[in-house]
Chains A and B, each alone.
Chain A
Amino acid sequence: MSGPSQYQPQNAVLKWVERRLPIGGLIHSSFIGYPTPRNLNYWWTFGAILSMMLGVQIVTGIILAMHYTPHADLAFKSVEAIVRDVNYGWLLRYLHSNGASMFFIAVYIHMFRGLYYGSYKEPREVLWILGVIIYLLMMATGFMGYVLPWGQMSFWGATVITNLFSAIPYVGDSIVTLLWGGYAVGNPTLNRFFSLHYLLPFVIAGVVVLHVWALHVVGQNNPAGVEPQTEKDTVPFTPYATIKDSFGMTCFLVFFAWFVFYTPNYLGDPDNYIPANPGVTPAEIVPEWYYLPFYAILRSIPNKLAGVVAMFSAILVLAFLPWLDGAKVRSARYRPLARQFFWIFVVVCLGLGYLGSKPPQGIYVVAGRILTAYYFFHFLILLPILSRVEKARPVPNSIADDVLGKAGALKAVGSAIVVLAAAGLLLIGGVSQSRAEEETPPTLSWSFAGPFGKFDQGQIQRGLKVYKEVCSNCHSLNYIAFRNLADAGGPGYSEEQAAALASTYKIKDGPNETGDMFERPGRPADYFPAPFANEQQARVANGGAAPPDLSLMAKARGYDRGFPTFIFDLVTQFQEKGPNYIAALLQGFEENPPADFKLPDGSYYNKYFPGHSIKMPKPLSDGQVTYDDGAPQTVQQYAADVAAFLMWTAEPKLEARKKLGLQVMIFLIILAGLLYFTKKKVWADAH
């Protein structure tokens, strides 16, 4: 397709360079003169979107690495320091963590587009296989990146995934030890994962170059699935594809920005805001959403080795697709049966993803097995048979013909909507089977909710008072320094007030010239001192359960909102599970547990605590803390105030985030509008 370059530089310097290194010609033939089919639809912009996301991940990743410490004792802390202290650190971190999800959303759309339009077929087999390799590399990179914050899910995800290799007969255990660099996942594992996580994106970039090279040799597929024959079938990449891709990328950025600025923790797991603890496994280990379908396949098979083999086969089978589907007609547009089975397959994948997030019991196991069987049936049996028996509808003679006889564009969108609705109904059916066992915390109204939410300074100040007078007797607040009390978007104290509060605390410092530790009054730069010297002391003083640090509590606790509420939560920007839970827990103590509940000695009954048996006695009672702003001195008010305070300690940049988010959104929407009209103008003479 890209024959000898048409590039003829006029400038003498460029001519001089071009004769020695024809880089101008390479760029010209790849991104300017490159002929692109004129009938491409917007699903084709996801190639450009993926390149953009790779760039975003590499740039934000390199910056995060400037501040991150890959050490088991410091990694979690350094991530918090990035978010709290580094200029725009919260932005860079949320861009990177949500960017991974966006990368996968885009790659799944890109892959399903390839499946639908038969982009893997002759002569694009190598192009497709390179894509599968990129996808595998992305999965490895994403997994290792998720380990780096060294939270509970990082640690236990790393444990579970590395243990997959122990299924290999004879050498499995040795391989796992090799991966760990120790007797379990630990500091050596974290160090090497950091190194590899830095390396792999550049490997991906290298394979992307091969992918694009292969693409430019065989040319792009197109919705009609017929090869371009004449000049009339194609348009030059610039300006036509460039402007269309720019519009697509900007729209995608709007979607991306929604997550980053308004629901940055929607796709994450609250457990990952708890520092890694090798002694406690979280109640449910769930991988990042983009691995869920494969996780469901793994769990569906009741044999360790077979499960691992099935999981990897589910990805590898894609590489053989060009030979499994032998149909000559590429585009599913002209294959009525294949098109229907394609949408069924999409639903099956979504279903597997949903099941991967559910506990492996009851109906979920059965459904998982059925869908796993269907997944392989689709590739190994259905597609080979279909390609032999199906009678395809006539394909257009040329791309130009396809453009003239346009009708099917809306149909594809229509069927996508129908399929998603069907999948939704299916899921509702699945969910109604499972009943709510635990009482979920009531949803309170918070001043910091929604796109324009702000902390109520009075409430944060009252919450701080409750923390100081009650909670701080047992709970630390390790990530909050006294100086933070004077930060913008916080409780609104002046620097003098923060310094005055700090000086009421005794801070251990030293050693001095004689080598002794000493106590001195606190300074603004000091952190709230912990009530206990170490975890063991905290444990002994509290009946065997160490009171957790409260800094991140409002992000480290959540509960299941169920389907379809969890989807609406994305639209309504619901991010307040943590504060709801904290407020409910503080009010959820009951003197008399239900008759059939056996309360262990030294424990208390709490309606909202998972398992209901909590070691913390009811901490608050009416009138316990004196408010001087006239707010009611009730447990209900105390609970709400301290929950709001803890939301601020967990997300101190919330106000800055929402403010910048509004500016970014407005900008992106204006840019998208301008690009849309520019695109229309540019394409006006091509149609």
Chain B
Amino acid sequence: MTTSTSAEHSRRDFLYVATGAVAAVGTVAAIWPLVSQMNPDASTIAAGAPIEVDLAPIAEGQAIKVFWRSKPIYIMNRTKKQIEEARAVAVSSLPDPQSDQARVKEGHDQWLVVIGICTHLGCIPIAHEGSYDGFFCPCHGSQYDSSGRIRQGPAPANLAVPPYSFASDTRIKIG
């Protein structure tokens, strides 16, 4: 030991550091599959493919609930009054400012399609209840208007609009 030169020392240190580094890389790489397995599996992802919904049976003033990716989706056929109410309010006065036009598809203004999950803590709001002709969440009292926008209560944001498009005038494709 006492006779070893500094060159030998640094060579040895390099070996130790290299070994430690390679071992550390291996450990991190080994953790990857252990964490990745928790993500949705292939069958779950495949089951989350887009769905088509026929709108014909939904009368004006009615709302239905369908499931897409295990989430409830409200499809509401709004009345003239509901649309007018939603458009009468000053957007800037809203907690989460967004115009009604931005939340529906142009030319299909009577159809409101929103994910029926309260943005507060994930309960399902009830349609056609509350003071705004929209949705009322019974868990903590959040109130959404006829455009699904938060108006009152603890929820921080509007009900989310899922990706969807009109396949025809009476069919939508969600997803």
Interface residues of A (CB under 8 A from B): 59, 63, 66-67, 81, 84-89, 91-92, 246, 481, 483, 487, 523-525, 667-668, 670-671, 674-675, 677-678, 681, 685
Contact = CB atoms under 8 A, between A and B. Distances in A.
Contacts of B34: 59, 63, 92
A87 B15 contact: no
A86 B41 contact: yes
Given A671-B23, A674-B19, A525 B33 contact: no
A674 B18 contact: yes
Interface string B6-48: 0000001001101100110010010001101111011110110
Interface residues of B, number: 23
Contact of B43 (A91, A481, A677): A481
Given A92-B33, A681-B12, A685-B1, A87 B39 contact: yes
20 contacts: A67-B41, A85-B41, A85-B43, A86-B37, A87-B41, A88-B36, A88-B37, A89-B37, A91-B33, A92-B34, A92-B37, A483-B46, A667-B22, A667-B29, A671-B22, A671-B23, A674-B22, A675-B19, A677-B15, A678-B19
Interface of B: 1, 12, 15-16, 18-19, 22-23, 26, 29, 33-34, 36-39, 41-44, 46-47, 49
Contact of B47 (A246, A525, A678): A525
Residue with the greatest number of chain B CB neighbours at <10 A, chosen from A87, A88, A89, A678: A87
Given A674-B18, A675-B19, A677-B15, A87 B1 contact: no
A670 B22 CA distance: 8
Contacts of A674: 15, 18-19, 22
Contacts of B47: 525
A670 B26 CA distance: 11
Closest 7 pairs (CB-CB, A-B): A88-B33, A525-B46, A85-B41, A85-B42, A674-B19, A87-B36, A86-B41
A668 B18 CA distance: 14
A66 B15 contact: no
Contacts of A87: 33, 36-37, 39, 41
Contacts of A677: 15, 19
B49 A524 contact: yes
Residue with the greatest number of chain B CB neighbours at <10 A, chosen from A81, A86, A88, A667: A86
A66 B41 CA distance: 12
A192 to B, nearest CB: 26
Contacts of A670: 22
Contacts of A81: 41, 43
A523 B39 CA distance: 23
Nearest to B50: A523
A279 B41 CA distance: 34
Nearest to A675: B19
A523 B49 contact: yes
B16 to A, nearest CB: 6
B80 to A, nearest CB: 28
A66 B16 CA distance: 38
Given A92-B37, A483-B42, 12 more contacts: A59-B34, A66-B38, A81-B41, A88-B33, A92-B33, A246-B23, A667-B22, A670-B22, A671-B19, A674-B18, A675-B23, A685-B1
A66 B22 CA distance: 30
Contacts of B26: 667-668, 671
A670 B19 CA distance: 9
A685 B16 CA distance: 16
Contacts of B16: 678, 681
A681 B15 contact: yes
Contacts of A246: 23
A84 B1 contact: no
Residue with the greatest number of chain A CB neighbours at <10 A, chosen from B1, B12, B19, B34: B19
Nearest to A253: B26
Nearest to A482: B46
Nearest to A499: B49
Given A87-B33, A88-B37, A524 B46 contact: yes
Contacts of A681: 12, 15-16
A667 B43 CA distance: 32
Contact of A89 (B12, B19, B41, B46): B41
Contacts of B37: 63, 66-67, 86-89, 92
A483 B45 CA distance: 11
A671 B16 CA distance: 12
